[in-house]
Structure 1
Amino acid sequence: MQLADIVTERIQRVTQAPKVALHEPRLDGNELAYVRDCVESGWVSSVGSYVDRFERELAAFVGAAHAVVVSNGTSGLHLALQLVGVKPGDEVLVPALSFVATANAVSHCGAHPHFVDSTAATLGLCVESLSSYLGDIAELRDGQCFNRNSGRRLAAVVPMHTFGHPVDMPALQELAARWSLPIVEDAAESLGSWIGERHTGNFGHCAMLSFNGNKIVTTGGGGAIVTNDPTLAKRAKHLTTTAKLPHAWAFQHDEVAYNYRMPNLNAALGCAQLERIDGFLEAKRELTQRYLAAFADVPEVELFVERPGTRANYWLQTLILSPQAAAQRDQILAATNGAGQMTRPVWELLTRLPMYRDCASMPTPVAADLAARIVNLPSSPQLVTDLAA
């Protein structure tokens, strides 16, 4: 039997369904009741009790002092970069293996993505290789970090927690402090992921979360900035609401800003979803165990699991093909999708996209290797719930 057929059969063994999406939201809690409340009350736009409630409950869940909800994850990351001082012409260190929004947010600031390699240990930014690289190309001037080759300021570093598996943030904190680099965590995929007792998003100056329709918790579309800095939180709220000064009726604005607000309707969905996040996370951990059992006797593949000292949310189940099986990746994708089991490859390396090919980059051999060998599997939490029922 070909490897593609084996993988297809093992996925079907776990899902026990003829057609399965990669990741679907589960919306059978209080979502309809809360959205109906918004409609009946008339509070459907960007002001309302569910916005305030979602911000409070989200901050409490991740253990951050403040949360500011926004229209989507990209807008949240764009603003988070501005909050830490990224300016046009700067460079921002981002992983080459990431969703395009990570680099796009840098570009929206008028800055330049500067790509770094990943590590197979976390699938995210490699702190060790970045440390060596900065030693070669960076220098400190008056307490700020600069790229000696381009002359541009290195204004921030953006670790992205790939598929909910945390980057080695304590090591990155130490490195960033040494080079005076603000940290902005791209935590779009890591709601419900911890390093020790500390939730992702609490290791930098601020972080971005995403609530797109395929995330652990969804608001349809939406995101949030979380931070423990009250000054950053206040400024985030101001800039996301068009920099409007408080007044009973007058429209006074004190700087160029954005309409990045999350509507009350979306926040209502978020409140209902957050009520059930513990169950979602438990289901995804159980799904991991089922995939581990299903692939235990297939030596050409390995399911990626959390590393010691961390607790991953397992947003997307991740199969790593052996180097010898890498050439069969597209056959596996074709066979599984053809059988109704939706799988996907990881994103195209950002260094290979036409708008970013000329950006600065360290060598990224590990990111390239991972990109050739990753296959994401169906990961909806209801796969477990439905089976248990």
Structure 2
Amino acid sequence: MSDYSDKFQPIVDLTRTIYGEGFIPLHRPVFDGNEKQYLIDCIDSNFVSSVGARVTEFEQRMAAFTGAKYAVATVNGTAALHVGLMLAGVERGDEVLSQALTFIATCNALTYAGAHAVFVDVDRETLGMSPDALRSFLVAHVTRKNGHAFNKQTGRRIAACVPMHTFGLPCRIEAIAALCDEYGIALVEDAAESLGSYVGSRHTGTFGKLATLSFNGNKVITTGGGGMIITDDEDLAKRAKHMTTTAKIPHPYEFVHDMTAYNYRMPNLNAALGCAQMEALPRFLEIKADVARRYGEFFDAEGVTFMRSPAGTTSNYWLNAIVLDSLAERDAFLEYTNAQGVMTRPIWRLMTRLEMYKDCQHDGLENSRWLEDRVVNLPSSVPGGAMGA
């Protein structure tokens, strides 16, 4: 570690210039608006669970912000993706194309739906699914019958494709969408990390059949725990609400349910937080963009690769990331910074290196493996008080 200390200490100093002294978390929530008042209003109204005006308001605010026609709030992002995959037509025994460089919730959700994961590689520039790798996989391994795609190796139907906008950096979603259309594969965007990210003027999550968002405590905005399904399809939105509210048929007093469904509806208390956070979201995004600018200027001068929003896109910079030279340097960096009270972390371990998904089909994952050894996240919260010089 001593070999790297001269290189790493200036990074620690920079984070302290931005965030101050003491322990610096990776990403903390900020509640400096109407959060407390809206929670009190909920308590006073007695509507604190899955029925309440704030749930509807939060959904409407989210639809308006993203440009989607409909939004359905859920208890968390994993639940949103689980239901979203079922709404997209994924059935037990199907396959879903995704990326191995992702948070485990992506794979867990498709497993809940009874599907098998198949992994294709990512782009080094975006950390998200590579349309080039996707096309290569489709050409080599997929045959089309009756408007559906089938894996020639397994014989299973490939029902959906789930790319992720990693750390808020938009992937090459337009090219991915075109391939999915060509092969008859439903596109479900995992936009859990990309609220406030755009391709041109179009918000991430609006390119496929539907998309899902997350509002966990470490996201750009938080509801404590929560997620959202967004879509332009009215029928899918209605079915999403039905499936996430135990499939109860509306009636003044009878309890009639028409399918096995889920109790995934977001509580009103969480939605109250979300409404207040939405009021602050534009300001949060401006501040996070400035933090990313400061990181970028510093790392440019140091000759270290800072992950910037790809050309033609706007990132929310949920988690800022750098690419180090080797696994050894990465491990030394993590040890040094965390020992100094500056929380940093590596990118996720590849899904194919986890026991549950080690036998999943993949394309070699060359870029994913390279990035796994080198990418680390830096503190990325909205700073409190002055930003510094």
Instruction: Give the TM bin, normalised by the shorter chain.
Output: over 0.9
Which position in structure 1 is the counterpart of 2:136?
132
Which position in structure 2 is the counterpart of 1:303?
306
Deviation at 1:195, TM superposition (A): 0.2
CA distance in 1, matches of 2:226, 2:31: 16
Deviation at 1:388, TM superposition (A): 4.8
Say if 2:324 is the partner of 1:317.
Answer: no
Deviation at 1:182, TM superposition (A): 0.4
Deviation at 1:72, TM superposition (A): 0.2
Counterparts of 1:30-179 in structure 2 under 5 Å?
30-179=34-183
Deviation at 1:5, TM superposition (A): 4.3
Counterparts of 1:165-314 in structure 2 under 5 Å?
165-299=169-303, 301-314=304-317
Deviation at 1:4, TM superposition (A): 4.5
Amino acid aligned to 1:19: F
Residue 292 of structure 1 aligns to a residue in which SS? helix
List per-residue Cα deviations over 1:246-294 (Å, max 9, x = no partner).
Answer: 1001101000100000000000000000000011001111101111232
CA distance in 1, matches of 2:128, 2:296: 22
**Aligned-residue identity in percent:** 50
Deviation at 1:10, TM superposition (A): 1.9
Equivalent residues of 2:53, 2:268 under 8 A apart: yes
Say if 2:358 is the partner of 1:354.
Answer: no
Deviation at 1:6, TM superposition (A): 2.3
Residue 379 of structure 1 aligns to a residue in which SS? coil
- Paired positions, count: 385
TM superposition score normalised by structure 2: 0.97
CA distance in 2, matches of 1:317, 1:79: 30
RMSD: 1.3
CA distance in 2, matches of 1:260, 1:359: 28
CA distance in 1, matches of 2:288, 2:380: 7
Equivalent residues of 1:18, 1:339 under 8 A apart: no
Which consecutive unaligned segments of at least 5 residues does structure 2 have?
Answer: none
CA distance in 1, matches of 2:45, 2:232: 33
Equivalent residues of 1:316, 1:376 under 8 A apart: yes
Amino acid aligned to 2:165: H
Structure-2 change in CA distance of 1:239 and 1:339 (3 Å): same
Deviation at 1:178, TM superposition (A): 1.1
TM superposition score normalised by structure 1: 0.97
Equivalent residues of 2:15, 2:379 under 8 A apart: no
List per-residue Cα deviations over 1:345-389 (Å, max 9, x = no partner).
Answer: 000000110010011111101001011110100000125x44359
CA distance in 2, matches of 1:53, 1:4: 50
Equivalent residues of 2:12, 2:340 under 8 A apart: no
Which position in structure 2 is the counterpart of 1:387?
387
Residue 381 of structure 1 aligns to a residue in which SS? coil
Residue 309 of structure 2 aligns to a residue in which SS? coil
Which consecutive unaligned segments of at least 5 residues does structure 1 have?
Answer: none
Equivalent residues of 1:115, 1:359 under 8 A apart: yes
CA distance in 2, matches of 1:369, 1:8: 25
Amino acid aligned to 2:353: R
Deviation at 1:302, TM superposition (A): 1.3
